[in-house]
Structure 1
Amino acid sequence: MVREQLAELTEMGLSALAELGNLIAGGTCIELEQLGFSADISPPTIMIGARSRISTLGIRRVVLPLATQHGHFNLHVAVDIT
């Protein structure tokens, strides 16, 4: 990712957020594999707006509230153990 100041959330900013999701998911998969678990990841989804809803179809998820100097956002992580 490029260290670039963004005054508003543009396509470049959304792409950077998606890449952050990829980095988190990829790192998590590596850690799980090292613990003996098999893991598959899906491409990140970015949802914008206070009224956005997300469904994980009965899969429990963890919501991680994150704060930056530019604002707050929530990272939703769903794990389906099969």
Structure 2
Amino acid sequence: MIPITCVMLQRQHLLMALLAFEGMILTILVTIMILMLYSWMFVTLIILTFGACGASLGLACMVMMARSYGNDHISSLSTNKC
């Protein structure tokens, strides 16, 4: 519940929202590893892979947005500016 509220509170910068999202992925991974007692290592590997793919896509979108808009403010993503 705490990582979800962190994502909701980070409304200014995209980088902070991405960091909160990565914290949420790592929290889910650690919870699964503790609950399964290392018996399903394949599932944890899949979750880690999806987390890495999500992080790379988010970083690529942030770099593209910073190059085109000049900042990483989430308010720059408004569709009303088109």
TM category, shorter? 0.3 to 0.5
TM-score, normalised on structure 2? 0.40
Bigger fraction of residues in helix: 2
> Highest Rg: 1 or 2?
2
TM-score, normalised on structure 1? 0.40
Bigger fraction of residues in strand: 1
